[in-house]
Structure 1
């Protein structure tokens, strides 16, 4: 029976995978992986012998139609990324959209994603929030910051360690040095940490202590009080 499964994988701690995810990965005909070498370690750990094919941001436009044809022939396929939930700042949207357009069932399993624990443990309001993911590196970056500076909801950003100082500097510039933020890194791993404070204090902290690991920045929305 043709079906695409969207399967979240652990963002660090292997114990965060669900029993259902393991069962799906064992039962499907094919697994599409962002990096087969990275995912191979995960599959080996859980004794999953399902065949893998590569599906990443550099080839997804070319491979989608071929995958759709496989699904129409009755193949069951699971899509995974290196970590977290596919399509959340990772490949997955194009294939999911193509399946919907071709009336192919899509089943997205619940599971790990980095921004939820970062948001919850930030101590900032989480009843309403906006997820921005990775901001533009160059073109459109200033425009995005100007818009987000006026956003009243809590803002969630993804960032790489070598760009963190630049992004924190821009937060100070456009949002103000006193804006409350939280930076979480290495979530679910041994050296997980969360730093909370003003944009200026967090910038100073990481200027003196260069960070490692993937990073989630949570920024307080603009106060209604002028």
Structure 2
């Protein structure tokens, strides 16, 4: 569909993930010049705009109202208003709301323009020291243990580098489940509070990182990106399948029983499943 010549532009604007100096001059200019800023949390975004002396009106746009507001916002764009879309932090639409509005705007022929900038995903990958030519972003894992383990089990043989977002109250369980699915010796990086005052980047095996997090309460605070090395291209197919089955069984059975059954079902070495996935 072709938008009217007088139609405005929807700017998708990246905002800081921690350090406010990362808001680019272009982003500041766009946020100042648009007719309104569509924000995931207007209270949070109001503080950011105030920090830079920006008084542009804010509109709440989040996962609970995006579908119903998208048509109204597109009508504003078609009438000539320009809008900015921001999330609470980082690049919008990356594990954040917004794609429905972008899709509706594009469907109506409205120009959608990115204003690139910070992204926790890319920031973590850039400092991880793991292969970055091909990677898979999985966002947040399921909150429930059984669903989380099933998701991870399906990724056990994935050769590309894996990236996950995780919250402070689930990071210990998530790391433990990754050890079960991928093996405790799989290289990984845990990036915490990137660009903020207490930024830390831990590297080592999943066993080592899980132990470090368990031993230090400070390492269980904040926002996390977990980067995990992909499975080796020549990983034995039986071992990969064994780890997948083991991770699924472990949701319901003790680790030793799950490893024994997985080994019997797949022919994978039992010690590689139980010893590689669990400490002790």
Classify the TM-score, shorter chain: over 0.9
Partner of 1:5: 11
Q: 2:137 aligns with which of 116, 131, 144?
A: 131
Q: Which structure would you say has the larger RCO, counting Cα contacts within 8 Å and 6 or more residues apart?
A: 1
Q: Distance in 1 between matches of 2:97 and 2:85?
A: 9
The answer to whether 1:74 aligns with 2:80 is yes
The answer to whether 1:207 aligns with 2:252 is no
Q: Distance in 2 between matches of 1:213 and 1:142?
A: 23
Q: Distance in 1 between matches of 2:226 and 2:101?
A: 28
Q: Distance in 1 between matches of 2:233 and 2:110?
A: 45
Q: Distance in 1 between matches of 2:221 and 2:73?
A: 36
Q: How does 1:102-141 map to 2 (within 5 A)?
A: 102-138=108-144, 140-141=147-148
Structure ID, larger Rg = 2
Unaligned runs of 5+ in 1: none
Number of aligned positions between the proteins:
226
Unaligned runs of 5+ in 2: 1-6, 236-280
RMSD, matched Cα: 1.2
Following superposition, the deviation at residue 123 of structure 1 comes to 1.1
Q: Distance in 1 between matches of 2:148 and 2:173?
A: 12
Following superposition, the deviation at residue 140 of structure 1 comes to 4.2
Q: 1:95 aligns with which of 96, 101, 107?
A: 101
Q: 2:200 aligns with which of 181, 188, 193?
A: 193
Following superposition, the deviation at residue 101 of structure 1 comes to 0.9
Following superposition, the deviation at residue 207 of structure 1 comes to 1.0
Following superposition, the deviation at residue 190 of structure 1 comes to 1.0
Partner of 1:42: 48
Q: TM-score, normalised by structure 1?
A: 0.97
Partner of 1:220: 229
